[in-house]
Every structure is written in C-alpha cells, then in structure tokens.
Amino acid sequence: MQTTFRPLTRAQQARRQRVIDAAMDLGLEGGYEAVQMRDVAARAGVAMGTVYRYFTSKDHLLAATLVRWVELLDARLAQQPARGNSPDQRVLDVLDRALRAMGRQPKLVAAVFTSLSSPDPGAVECQQQVTVLMEGIVTRAIGEPQPPDLGDRARMIGHVWYSALVGWINGWSTLARVYGELEVAVGLLLPRELSS
Amino acid sequence: MQTTFRPLTRAQQARRQRVIDAAMDLGLEGGYEAVQMRDVAARAGVAMGTVYRYFTSKDHLLAATLVRWVELLDARLAQQPARGNSPDQRVLDVLDRALRAMGRQPKLVAAVFTSLSSPDPGAVECQQQVTVLMEGIVTRAIGEPQPPDLGDRARMIGHVWYSALVGWINGWSTLARVYGELEVAVGLLLPRELSS
DNA sequence: GGAGCGAGTGGAACACGTTCTAGAGGTTAT
DNA sequence: ATAACCTCTAGAACGTGTTCCACTCGCTCC
C-alpha cells in the first residue's frame, strides 16, 4: 500500500519499463497465455512482488503495455500527417495505418486488447488513457473543416473502432472487415457534404 | 469429445439449463468472481466434468448465460412494441428499456458481459449470437420508413452499444452516460430528415 | 552514525479454472 | 443377453495468477 505519493525515482522508472518490455517481448511471440508473471519477472530481472508493486494484475500490466504501444503509434502518426483532402479521407488514412501496425504484431495486440476490457481497476485507468489517445488521433486527423459535434463524431468512431477490433482479436473477424466497418462508420458520421 | 452430434436428450437439456441457472443465481449476487465452477456444479447438482462437457470454459458458460438473458429480453421487448413515431424515437425507447433491465441486475450483467469479450471459442459463438439478437432488436425498432443502408446503421448502433456498455461494466461510466452515447449515435445515424 | 522505514528479493503458499482418472449406470446393436 | 459405448460422478491433480512471509538493502532524519 503506497501511502505517500513520492514520484518514482529514475531507477524505479527503469524497472517499471523493463517489466513492460518483458511483457511485450513475451506477448509478441506467444500472445496472452505466453505472458506468465513468473517469466515476466525473471526476464525483467525483478521479483514477483515488485511486478505487483507496479501493476495490480496481469491485465493491468498488459493494458499498460497497450498504452505504451498506442503512445508510440501516436508519435509515429503525428510525425507523418494524415493524407487526404477531406476529413473522412484523412481519418480513414490514419485508421488504416493503425490497423496495419496491428496486423504486424497480431499476438501482442490480441493479448493487450483482451486485457484492456478487464474490470481490474488498474486496467480501467489504462482504458481511459487509450480512449483519450484514440480520440486525439481521430480528432487530429479530421482537422479542417471541423464538422459540427466534432467530439461526438470522434467518440462514435472510437466506439466502432473498439467494438470492431474486439471481433478481430477474438478471431471471428478479419482486419479487412474491421476496416470495412470503419469505412461505413466514417461514411455515415463524416459525410462529404460537411467538407464542402 | 463429442464425435457424433446426437441431439441432446430431454434430461440433458434440463441439466444444461440447470447449470446456466446456477451460474445466473451466483452471478446475480456476487458477480464474476462469485461464479466459481465448483459452486456452479454443486448448485446445479452435477459433477464438474459435466459442466465442462457442455461449456468449454467459465467464460463460455457465462456468455451462454448472456445469450439466454438477451433471448428473454428480446421476447419481452417483442411483446410490447417500441413506442415513438419515428425510427430514432423507437430505437431509443427500446434501448432505454434494455438498459433499465440491465440496471436491475448490474452484477450479473457485468459478469456475463466481461465473459462475452473472451477469446474462448465457445464464448465467441455466443458473441455472434448476441450480436445477431441485438441487431434484430434495433432493426425491428427502426421499422418504417426504412432508411438507406439499414443494416449498416443498425450495426453501427450495435457497436456503440457494446463499446459504451463496456465502460459501464468496468465501472468508469454510468448507465446514464451509456444512454447519452446511444442518443448521440442515434442522433447522428438516424437523423429525423430520413423519416419525413 | 544509528534508528526507522519503505522498496526489493526469493520463494513458499494459496485460490480457482481446468484436466484427468477410475468406475457406475444406462442405452444401442448384434 | 451381452458387448461396446456414452454419459455422469466424485474427487484428485495440475497450472498459473496472486498473495504472503522473512529477510536484506539503501536512504533519510535526527
């Protein structure tokens, strides 16, 4: 139980990061089941107790891994702005790039997304962070001209993104199908008329 | 391993249903963690092996419980048709009734929805059944006049419904907020102009 | 420079989902 | 009627997430 909220020392930051990296490594090859807490601890060079000091559960750890993953994605996307000369095109461009990135590491993405929907309080915090990041990505891609109810539309696209992705992760949909759903959503939520 | 697909005997149907009922009872009071397989088996009066003959996992069992729950909801909704004289009003009426029903058994609903997003193959089958049921409910509520891309719009509402609900289940949103998101979705996806 | 304290370690212990084993009925086909 | 086959039972056994314990180390505050 951490009573006083001292900021993490440099060494602690590093330890925490090592744990996340270890989880990423393991998840990359074997997915959710391959991320075993004993292995994570061993690979990160810390004791199990330490892992549980930083993360309340396996799901929290994996959800935190997703946050890191999306942050990296966000940075990459921000570097190269969305292509397209209307909001709908730009949004689809960005989402397409995001899905491609996921397709390159399907096991890891499946693992961390599965954890993202866990009711664990630690994981819930990460859910919110991911939501915020995604809304930012979509909002940035919409750019100008801003449609009315910008926030609402971005949030709805976020909902479709999440829900459709769950279908892929659980294996009864494909990335192409997810992209199709997003096309439909963008088509209905960001109609061309708005950009004229 | 069931090699030949003989239809279930009456006694087997009953056993299977007893197991689901037991899971419902336990989940009603204590949520996900209170549904322990040993307890389920004991309460249903069957051996653990039997539970696992009918359901591949705890998540499958709970997901099947949700299917049953939604079927009952569907039947109740079908009895009393949606109120409202435009598609958007009728859809919101139906969704509102569904959310109220959920609000009456929050722990159970949280438990079964958590399981719904499990990658377990048995659970995945249930996901699809629930998806189909929900799309049917929404499509029926839309009624006449049918907007263009009826299926797409209904499916998108389903996405928002699921994604927003996850927020409630995990405790960082409220039912009112979920309803708000659905209002926004319906507002954007079923604009009044379509009904005129 | 000693006392206190919180973080970290190593590993045992625990809980619960899941699987396995051995055997008892019951049903079907010959 | 009997052999073959399934289902079901009771409960042991297993695996992995999580917790607990006893201890060490390093820092901070007098």
- Cβ-based contacts of B119 with chain A (< 8 Å): 32, 110, 114, 169-171
- Could A114 and B110 be called an inter-chain contact, meaning their C-beta atoms sit closer than 8 Å? no
| pLDDT score recorded for residue B2 | 41
Rounded CA–C1' distance between B74 and C29, in angstroms: 44
- Could B189 and A184 be called an inter-chain contact, meaning their C-beta atoms sit closer than 8 Å? no
| pLDDT score recorded for residue B111 | 97
Contact residues for strand C with beta carbon within 7 Å: A 2-3, 6, 11-12, 15, 45-50, 53; B 33, 35-38, 48-49, 52, 56-59, 120
Q: What percent of chain A has pLDDT over 90?
A: 90
State the number of CA atoms in the 13 A half-sphere of B59 facing the CB.
17
pLDDT band at B3 (very low <50, low <70, confident <90, very high): very low
The partner residue sitting opposite B164, judged by closest CB among A159, A181, A189, is A159
Question: In this structure, what are the phi and psi dihedrals at residue A60, rounded to the nearest 5 degrees?
Answer: -65, -45
The per-residue pLDDT for range B56-70, each reduced to its tens digit, is 999 999 999 999 999
Rounded CA–C1' distance between B121 and D6, in angstroms: 24
- Cβ-based contacts of A188 with chain B (< 8 Å): 149, 152-153, 156, 188-189
User: Are the CB atoms for A64 and A20 separated by under 8 Å?
Assistant: yes
Mean pLDDT across B14-27: 97
A185 touches strand D (CB under 7 A): no
| pLDDT score recorded for residue B7 | 66
Within 7 Å of a protein beta carbon, the nucleotides of strand D are 6-12, 16-22
Lowest average pLDDT, out of A191-195, B80-84, B90-94, goes to A191-195
Residue of B nearest to A125 (CA): B172
The backbone region for A149, taken as left when phi is positive above 0, alpha when psi lies in -120 to 50, beta otherwise, is left
Lowest average pLDDT, out of A3-7, A25-29, B72-76, goes to A3-7
Please name the nucleotide lying closest to A36, CA to C1': D16
| pLDDT score recorded for residue A1 | 41
| pLDDT score recorded for residue A11 | 83
Rounded CA–C1' distance between A29 and D14, in angstroms: 25
- State yes or no: pLDDT of B12 exceeds 50: yes
Distance CA B16, CA B10 (A): 10
User: How many Å lie between the alpha carbon of B103 and the closest alpha carbon of chain A?
Assistant: 17
Mean pLDDT across A120-125: 96
User: How many Å lie between the alpha carbon of A185 and the closest alpha carbon of chain B?
Assistant: 7
Distance CA A88, CA A138 (A): 10
| pLDDT score recorded for residue B1 | 42
- Could B160 and A162 be called an inter-chain contact, meaning their C-beta atoms sit closer than 8 Å? no
Handedness of CA B180, A116, A111, A81 (dihedral sign): positive
Helix A58-79 and helix A121-142: axis angle, to 10°?
A: 10
Cα torsion at B106, B109, B114, B119 (round to 10°)? 180
Question: In this structure, what are the phi and psi dihedrals at residue B47, rounded to the nearest 5 degrees?
Answer: -85, 160
Please name the nucleotide lying closest to B34, CA to C1': C16
User: Are the CB atoms for A133 and A70 separated by under 8 Å?
Assistant: yes
- Could A159 and B158 be called an inter-chain contact, meaning their C-beta atoms sit closer than 8 Å? no
| pLDDT score recorded for residue B195 | 67
- State yes or no: pLDDT of B38 exceeds 70: yes
DSSP letter at B193?
Answer: G
Q: Is B93 exposed, middle or buried (0-12, 13-18, 19+ CB in 10 A)?
A: middle
* pTM: predicted TM-score of the whole model, two decimal places: 0.93
Omega into A7 within 30° of 0, i.e. cis? no
- State yes or no: pLDDT of A56 exceeds 90: yes
- Could B156 and A184 be called an inter-chain contact, meaning their C-beta atoms sit closer than 8 Å? yes
Average pLDDT, chain B: 94
- The span from the first CA to the last CA of chain B, in angstroms, equals 56
B56 touches strand D (CB under 7 A): no
Residue with tokens 């891994």: A65
